[in-house]
């Protein structure tokens, strides 16, 4: 069942060999990448989230996926893997990244591309307190039954859907909620869950 779910999800994600998105549609924005880690463990499938450090200049204290700005000349997938390693000590084995989700603009002037990785639950994470206050997981089954709240906002004069999830006494919203919503939509497709 889990292997079928993994294959079904991978078939619906944008392939890894797809070129990184251009920034021409979002002038003044920087390229960024996030990693959406799906952990396979004894308790089933879980997603990893972080709480951003209160000392960060943007989105302090908010829930996010590991990620950040890409360095000059750095491929976005490499940036996502580097950020996950730096923020929470997550080493992603070769072949664990299944594909990418749609890029999302953020009010901090980043155009973020999410990459989905499926890997065994690590025994421990090493959190960098300069960037991350806390790391936690939420069971996939809890997220699949959660009814998100939808909100419309303008960003640079363009309508953007903001998605809010309230699960396990957490408020997951903004770019992270919107990325999560896209992933949940793919997972709930009949062919993926079959």
H or E segment and range at residue 128:
none
Cα gap 56→23, rounded to integer Å: 24
Pairing of the two strands 110-120 and 30-41: parallel
How many structural domains is the chain composed of?
A: 1
pLDDT band at residue 90 using 50, 70 and 90 as cut-offs: very high
Question: pTM of the predicted model, to two decimals?
Answer: 0.93
Cα gap 87→114, rounded to integer Å: 16
Tokens of 175: 């770019």
Compute CA 43 distance to the chain's CA centroid, rounded to the nearest angstrom. Answer: 21
CATH of the domain at 117: 3.90.79.10
Per DSSP, helices labelled H in 89-169 are: 140-145
Task: Show the domain range for 17.
Answer: 2-193
Burial of 110 (0-12, 13-18, 19+ CB in 10 A): buried
Which residues lie across from 32 on neighbouring strands? 69, 112
- For the stretch 128-172, pLDDT in tens is 988 899 999 999 999 999 999 999 998 888 888 999 999 989 999
- pLDDT above 60 for 78: yes
Rounded mean pLDDT, 99-124: 95
Which residues lie across from 14 on neighbouring strands? 100
Cα gap 184→150, rounded to integer Å: 14
Cα gap 122→40, rounded to integer Å: 9
Cα gap 6→8, rounded to integer Å: 5
């Amino acid at each position: 069942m889990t292997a079928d779910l993994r294959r079904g999800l991978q078939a619906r994600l944008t392939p890894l060999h797809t070129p990184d998105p251009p920034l021409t549609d979002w002038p003044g924005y920087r390229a960024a990448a996030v990693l959406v880690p799906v952990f396979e463990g004894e308790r089933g499938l879980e997603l990893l989230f972080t709480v951003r450090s209160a000392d960060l200049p943007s989105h302090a204290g908010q829930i996010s996926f590991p990620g950040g700005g890409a360095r000059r000349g750095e491929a976005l997938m490499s940036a996502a893997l580097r950020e996950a390693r730096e923020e929470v000590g997550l080493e992603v084995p070769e072949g664990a990244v299944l594909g990418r989700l749609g890029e999302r603009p953020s009010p901090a002037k980043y155009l973020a591309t999410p990459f989905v990785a499926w890997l065994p639950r690590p025994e421990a994470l090493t959190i960098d307190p300069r960037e991350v206050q806390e790391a936690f997981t939420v069971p996939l089954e809890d997220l699949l039954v959660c009814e998100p709240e939808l909100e419309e906002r303008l960003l640079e004069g363009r309508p953007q859907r903001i998605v809010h999830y309230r699960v396990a006494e957490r408020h997951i919203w903004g770019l992270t909620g919107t990325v999560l919503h896209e992933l949940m939509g793919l997972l709930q497709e009949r062919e993926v869950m079959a």
